[in-house]
Structure 1
Amino acid sequence: MNRTKIVGLCAIALAGVATAACQPIRETRGYIVDPVLTQSIQPGIDNQQSVAGTLGRPTFTSQFGEPTWYYVSSTTGRKPFVRPRIEQHQVLAVRFDAAGNVVAADRSGIDQVAYLRPDGDETPTLGRERTFLEDLFGNIGAVGAPGVGGQQQ
């Protein structure tokens, strides 16, 4: 082989490696959605046991109101050294009645995602700001002082 062919092949190989390095890295987070299984949940027919047997344990459950199981799935893509971006997002909310029977199976997507921007680097709190030394020595003399707590005479 002559020298120009070797240099040309090396350049093509280097371009292929550089292109492969820029491909986004895809990650699936949360519940892995199987459309056949999620479509098989039927209100009035299924109950909590059948849903758990079909879909598995939920990502999280409701704490208040009617019992609801949430199956959350996100697919993110990121390029090297860049913050991940959500490409797909799905939520399956399975609502149950008091007897444990399925009332509804609602689906939502990325259109329902709320993006929050924090206000600065600090969390605002009530009260006054104390220095390190005030935190360290602030309770000296306050323990057992009248009107502060403890036993009253």
Structure 2
Amino acid sequence: MPKIAASLSGPRARLVLAGLIVAMTVSGCSQVRGRQGYVVDTVLTDAITPGVDNRESVERTLGRPTFVGQFSDNEYFYLARETRQLAFANPRPVAQMALRIRFDPAGNVVAVDRTGLDQVSKISPEGDKTPTLGRERSFFEDIFGNIGAVGAPGTGGPPQ
């Protein structure tokens, strides 16, 4: 037993221990890839042609849409997003596709619109406070500020 304890206390043991710590730290920093929504096949999405395809051919080619238009069923939406995440950081979008297919009342494709990552907005909240317009009041002004401003208590309105 004394030989084992002696072999773990030298500079070589410190190097091995440091290597293990670095390996465990680096393995936790790997990138996580995520996909959400429709799995895009560019050959199939490019095959949808206005004036040629109809609602049934679109569903056979691309499958059921991610969602149908809110106000009428003459629009199909196919949404796809790919994200990457480093360790415990928030995921960030790497690729995105929004495909909108519009139909006429007869069910024929009228237009095919595509948007990508250029439509993604980054929203940065202001902080813990919501900025408001108007006066800045203290805690006690908020609590006691309306005393006497409306009228006598119990009368239901301003004094006559």
After TM superposition, the structure 1 = structure 2 runs for residues 31-70 of structure 1, keeping only pairs within 5 Å, are 31-64=38-71, 67-70=74-77
Report the CA distance between 1:79 and its aligned residue.
2.2
SS at match of 1:93: strand
How big is the alpha-carbon RMSD for the aligned residues of Structure 1 and Structure 2? 3.0
- Alignment match, 1:26: 33
- Alignment match, 1:105: 112
The Cα offsets for residues 44-93 of structure 1, whole Å up to 9 and x where unpaired, read as 11111111111111111112267111101111111232222222111011
Report the TM-score, using the length of structure 2 for normalisation.
0.62
Query: How far apart, in 1, do the equivalents of 2:123 and 2:76 lie?
Result: 24
Q: Percent identity?
A: 42
Larger C-alpha radius of gyration, 1 or 2? 2
CA contact (8 A) 1:66 1:95 kept: no
| Residue 82 of structure 2 corresponds to residue 75 of structure 1 | yes
Report the TM-score, using the length of structure 1 for normalisation.
0.64
Across the two proteins, how many residue pairs are aligned to each other? 122
| Structure 2, unpaired ranges of 5+ | 1-6, 131-160
Query: How far apart, in 2, do the equivalents of 1:39 and 1:24 lie?
Result: 31
Query: How far apart, in 2, do the equivalents of 1:76 and 1:7 lie?
Result: 38
Query: How far apart, in 1, do the equivalents of 2:31 and 2:12 lie?
Result: 31
Query: How far apart, in 2, do the equivalents of 1:113 and 1:25 lie?
Result: 20
Runs of 4+ in structure 1 over 4 Å off: 2-14, 115-123
Query: How far apart, in 1, do the equivalents of 2:104 and 2:128 lie?
Result: 43
CA contact (8 A) 1:66 1:97 kept: no
Query: How far apart, in 1, do the equivalents of 2:68 and 2:111 lie?
Result: 15
Report the CA distance between 1:101 and its aligned residue.
0.8
Q: 1:42 to 1:120 in 2, by over 3 A?
A: same
Report the CA distance between 1:105 and its aligned residue.
1.3
